[in-house]
Amino acid sequence: MKLKIVEYPDRKLKEKSEIVKQFDKELHKLLDAMYEMMIKSNGIGLAAIQVGYAKQALLLNLPDENDEQSIDNLIEMINPTIIKTSGETTYQEGCLSVPSFYEDVDRYESVTVNYQDRYGNKKTLDADGLLSIAIQHEIDHLKGILFIDKLSYSRRKKFEKEYKKMQKEKKPSKK
């Protein structure tokens, strides 16, 4: 399964992802391919839409206290829904689909999430800190929302200016 990261401004990223009904080999192959892609790209979170699959599936693999990303910390969330939120926090987020751009985003401090694992077993997770931020960021992807969509008007303008400049640098104009 050869995957490619879908990058802003591709409209595919605005699609709403479908509920996963089949917890089958196809799903497992997708999750495994997403994991390879996420680690290869230095990501700590990845939603299926970011590799072109509009399915409600996401991966989280945060570095541990000595900054190592171990597969033991891998969390696979299928059909996640946030059922409780509390507090507020701000963090400078980045996204594999919006390369080289980082901005402060306001999120809930803590969340409780219901989801299913790759076999369809129902799970509940209480999260705070970076894990809570990552969960909210990835669940937004399933709703077609990017972190840049949550920026204030002025910061969004700053992003668009910087992004255009970066794109020009990448592909110098033909003239």
Ligand X SMILES: CC(=O)Oc1ccc(/C=C/C(=O)NCCc2ccccc2)cc1OC(C)=O
From Co ion, ligand X, none, which one binds at residue 75 (CB under 5 to 8 Å depending on kind)? Answer: none
User: Of the candidates 139, 157, 62, which has an alpha carbon nearest to the alpha carbon of residue 148?
Assistant: 157
**Residue 52 per-residue DSSP state:** T
CB of 37 within 8 A of CB of 51?
yes
Count of residues for the chain? 175
Using the contact rule CB under 6 A, the part of the chain among 89-97, 108-116, 121-129, 155-163 near ligand X is: 89-97
Catalytic residue among 36, 138, 162, 169: 138
In this structure, the number of other CB atoms found within 10 A of the CB of residue 146 comes to 19
Minimal distance, residue 83 CB to ligand X, in Å: 20
Judged by beta carbon, residue 125 or residue 145, the one nearer Co ion is: 145
Residue 28, annotated as binding a ligand: no
Binding mask 20-59 for ligand X (x = CB under 6 A): ----------------------xxxx--------------
Q: Is residue 141 annotated as involved in ligand binding? A: yes
Is residue 26 annotated as part of the catalytic site, yes or no?
Answer: no
Q: Considering the rule CB under 5 A, would residue 95 count as an interface residue with Co ion?
A: yes
Of 173, 38, 159, 169, the closest CA to residue 105 belongs to 159
In contact, 113 and 142? CB cutoff 8 Å: no
Based on the shown chain and the rule CB under 6 A, indicate whether residue 141 belongs to the binding site for ligand X. Answer: no
Catalytically active residues are 138
